[in-house]
Homo-oligomer: A and B are copies of this chain.
């Protein structure tokens, strides 16, 4: 019998879907989706809703932020900047120069997501916030690092009511993409319902940074990716 709620940040991508499956093993689900002006916003929302239906989530909250697009600074929200593609013939995304962050980085985005999750957690009495961030085998965003989540846990402790106990959980943080695929299969995550492509909402492009990372994970895990791709 599950008694406590966990909030899961569910973009609708593979990692957040596996994260939802993991949270579902121990917690009642309160699923949170945030639109922030990213190109494939509508397609991601559909994935969110289908995954939430799959799990019969007790609570769901969809939030739209206009200001991340207004503030800009990212190719994910600014249609005038190109989305980087993976280098031809390699399944890895364009390697970032040492210390540089890809143009798809949305400045400090995950802090916005966690702030929303924390406010919601405080009101509904959820004890955990799950986020499917991946540190090493990923795009190198600074707000996907474990030290960022550790620091944010301190902010939650200091910035909420004394009786509030909310903790961020990052079950995938040090996993390779292939291990995430295998974990997803193990826990029965509905990966056919997910969407990862940054570029397209019909069939996945297979070439953007996010598609490339996902396909590499499936390839290395020896599992067939169940979603449709343009060149498949």
Contact = CB atoms under 8 A, between A and B. Distances in A.
Interface of A: 61, 63-68, 70-73, 99, 101, 105-112, 114-116, 118-120, 122-123, 142-143, 145, 147-148, 150-152, 154-163
Interface of A is mostly: helix
Given A142-B162, A162-B142, A68 B119 contact: yes
Contacts of A68: 119
Contact of A107 (B65, B114, B123): B123
A160 B110 CA distance: 10
A72 B115 contact: no
A151 B148 contact: no
Contact of A143 (B106, B150, B159): B159
12 contacts: A65-B65, A101-B161, A107-B118, A107-B161, A108-B122, A108-B156, A108-B159, A108-B160, A111-B155, A142-B161, A148-B158, A151-B154
B66 A61 contact: no
A142 B119 contact: no
B110 A159 contact: yes
B73 A111 contact: no
Contact of A72 (B108, B123, B163): B123
A125 to B, nearest CB: 10
Contact of A71 (B123, B143, B145, B152): B123
Contact of A159 (B61, B123, B148, B158): B148
